[in-house]
Amino acid sequence: MPSNRVTTRNQSTKKKVKVPTSSASTGFVDSWLWDKAAELPFEPHRIRMDQTGRYDEALDREFPFVVRLFHFRHKDYTPGWTWHERLEVFLPLDGATRMRMGQQEIELQAGEILIVDNLRLHMTVDFPGFESRVIVVSFLPEFVYSLGSPSHYYFFLLPFYLRRSDTPHVVRQNSPFLPQMHRSIGELLRCYFERSVYFQAGCKAHLLTLLYLLAQQFRSADVLRSELIRQQERAAKLRPVFEYVAGNFAEGLTLKKAAALANMSLPQFIKLFKRVAGMTLVSYLTHVRLSHAFRLLKESSLTIAEVAFQTGFSDQSHLDRRFKAAFGQVPSAVRKQLNS
């Protein structure tokens, strides 16, 4: 895909630049959002995941909503596949950013918005020259809609749960809704980080505006509320499988046993697992093992052969091959970088 060059405002030097005023016409970030973001610190991307790749934010059940501001740099962010229950909107402010969800890779230009397929394994993809500030808006579904909510509230969540195909939901530069979405996200930043009186109500109001615009972008007249509920139920069926893998990833898991854990027939399980996780069970298990191996390389003094044994690989050479395919380097090279 063609790359758009974006002039940024660097937080460390406070260099002032001329900011474009329309994301729809130029592909740049709307000035309102840009100015709000320029006032805030963006932290290096450092997150902790469990053995399954699950990344959990500590959310207040009374206010299950969070905005994170990350600064991604080439070889300077937390690598690896992750997933989570909360819903997520992902917006890069600077340059090209690549996200892989399942077996699909999506390239985003500055200001474009990705609806993250939260239950599907996903990761930010590194590449030479990669540097971008990213706004991540996350919330639990019940913050917006639950079974006790008015039925029309389900409309806000349709872009997260329902797609006509496997094509990810991306708001591209030519969307007529994008400038309004930028304004809503800018208001969210202001409200969330200023923390004035009743900021929770303000955050929800601006979030609903954003979700309404997203639903307009991806609306589908033939989608029913009952289908939304069925989608949630399908994903919930796989929870016992994810939990089993978390505690037994080194031992392996057959398709037959996984289907039994999900209380499904083998064909049903294979189809549903790939739909939810974006990959086969074998690939998922491999990625869980690799994520755990990466943490052991960083946090322990185990030899690489011992790391391979503890994470379920047959030997060090097996780990080397899988690790290089996933991260582009063998474990010894990664450990050397981490130690330096």
pLDDT digits (tens, 9 = 90+) for 217-226: 887 544 545 6
Q: Which residue has the tokens 């091959």?
A: 321
* Percent of the chain residues topping a pLDDT of 90: 33
CB atoms within 10 A of CB 230: 12
Confidence label for 197 from pLDDT (cuts 50, 70 and 90) = confident
Burial of 260 (C-beta count, 10 Å sphere; 0-12/13-18/19+): middle
Q: How high is the pLDDT of residue 26?
A: 37
**Once rounded to an integer, what is the mean pLDDT over residues 289-304?**
85
285 has pLDDT over 60:
yes
Q: d(Cα 321, Cα 328) in Å, to the nearest integer?
A: 10
Query: If you average pLDDT over every residue of the chain, what do you get?
Result: 81
Q: How high is the pLDDT of residue 151?
A: 66
246, amino acid identity:
A
Q: In the structure encoding, which two tokens stand for residue 293, read together?
A: 């191996």
Q: How high is the pLDDT of residue 220?
A: 57
**Once rounded to an integer, what is the mean pLDDT over residues 42-59?**
81
**Once rounded to an integer, what is the mean pLDDT over residues 306-310?**
90
CB 82 within 8 A of CB 53: yes
Residue 294's contacts (CB-CB under 8 Å, 6 or more residues apart) are 79, 80, 327, 334
**Once rounded to an integer, what is the mean pLDDT over residues 173-201?**
93
CB 264 within 8 A of CB 272: yes
pLDDT digits (tens, 9 = 90+) for 118-174: 777 888 999 999 999 999 999 988 888 765 567 677 778 878 877 666 678 999 999
